[in-house]
Amino acid sequence: MRNKFKKSIERAEKKLRITFTNKDLLLNSLTHTSYLAEKKEGLITNERLEFLGDSVLGVIITKELYDRFPDFTEGDLAKLRANIVNSETLAGVAKILDLGPEIIMGRGTVQSGGRSTVSILENVFEAIIGALFLDKGLPETKIFILNNFDEIINKKSKLKDYSDAKTAFQEKAVELIGKRPIYQIIEERGPFHDRIFVSQVKIDDKVYGTGEGKSKKKAEQQAALEAIKKLKAKNEK
């Protein structure tokens, strides 16, 4: 089975600048559940590796922030971490690495723009971290993560507001409009094991942002990010 996707594995290794000892781990990390739904072939989806990678990424980033910013309070560290380890940032790193073309997914998902979908790119990146952790161990995984996040950490830490998107939007909304935003899950789609949530954020009856993610929390964060951009653009006019 691996031979069928040999080119994808080789291209992914080149983009990641990593040579995996266990190529199957990398193959699994690139395999979206939609491919198995269509092909019924003997691959393993990236869901378990994504679960592992999410935890590994969180621990490494948390430790790095703890060491790098000794004057930050617990609350400041938590807000900064949330502004770094989120769907938009992870998908952004995946785009920079150009991982989209290497994702193994069903034809329908490809046609619907899956290779540039934030949630899919985020999941693949987390799965690759999980695969790397199993293949190379923690030290090399840490090097890979910090190589890709060092500039992001520096940039985010220098922002006047490095809070998470929901907190940032609420503060801006109260400041500029005088009211707190309300979040609502307006759609759930996909199978139970691969659920996608769609959130909408409103002030009064006006929609300021819509976002999606594999959890309600991630969907709300995406909606808040869109809302911040809209509110900022409106305020600059």
Q: What is the pLDDT along the chain (237 residues), one digit of tens a residue?
A: 567 788 999 999 999 999 999 999 999 999 998 888 777 666 788 999 999 999 999 999 999 999 999 999 898 898 889 889 988 899 999 999 999 999 998 888 888 888 988 889 999 999 999 999 999 999 999 999 999 999 999 988 877 555 578 888 888 888 888 889 999 999 998 777 678 899 999 998 899 999 988 888 888 988 998 898 887 776 665
Q: Which domain, by its residues, includes 138? A: 2-157
- Name the amino acid, one letter, at 121: L
Give dist(CA 2, CA 70) in Å, integer.
Answer: 46
Q: Catalytic site residues?
A: 54, 126
End-to-end CA distance of the chain: 56
Same domain, 119 and 197: no
pLDDT of residue 236: 60
Same domain membership, residue 230 and residue 178: yes
Question: Which is nearest to 102 in space by CA: 22, 60, 180, 46?
Answer: 46
For residues 40 and 58, state if they share a domain.
yes
Give the C-alpha separation, 13 to 230, whole Å: 38
Whether residue 80 sits in one domain with residue 53: yes
Within this chain, do residues 80 and 25 fall inside the same structural domain, yes or no? Answer: yes
Q: How many domains does the chain have?
A: 2
Whether 98 and 171 share a structural domain: no
Query: pLDDT tens, 135-171?
Result: 999 999 999 999 999 999 998 887 755 557 888 888 8
Helices (H), 137-164: 138-157
Q: Do residues 146 and 183 both lie within one domain?
A: no
DSSP of 93-155, one letter per residue? HHHHTT-GGG-B--HHHHHTTGGG-HHHHHHHHHHHHHHHHHHH-HHHHHHHHHHHHHHHHHH
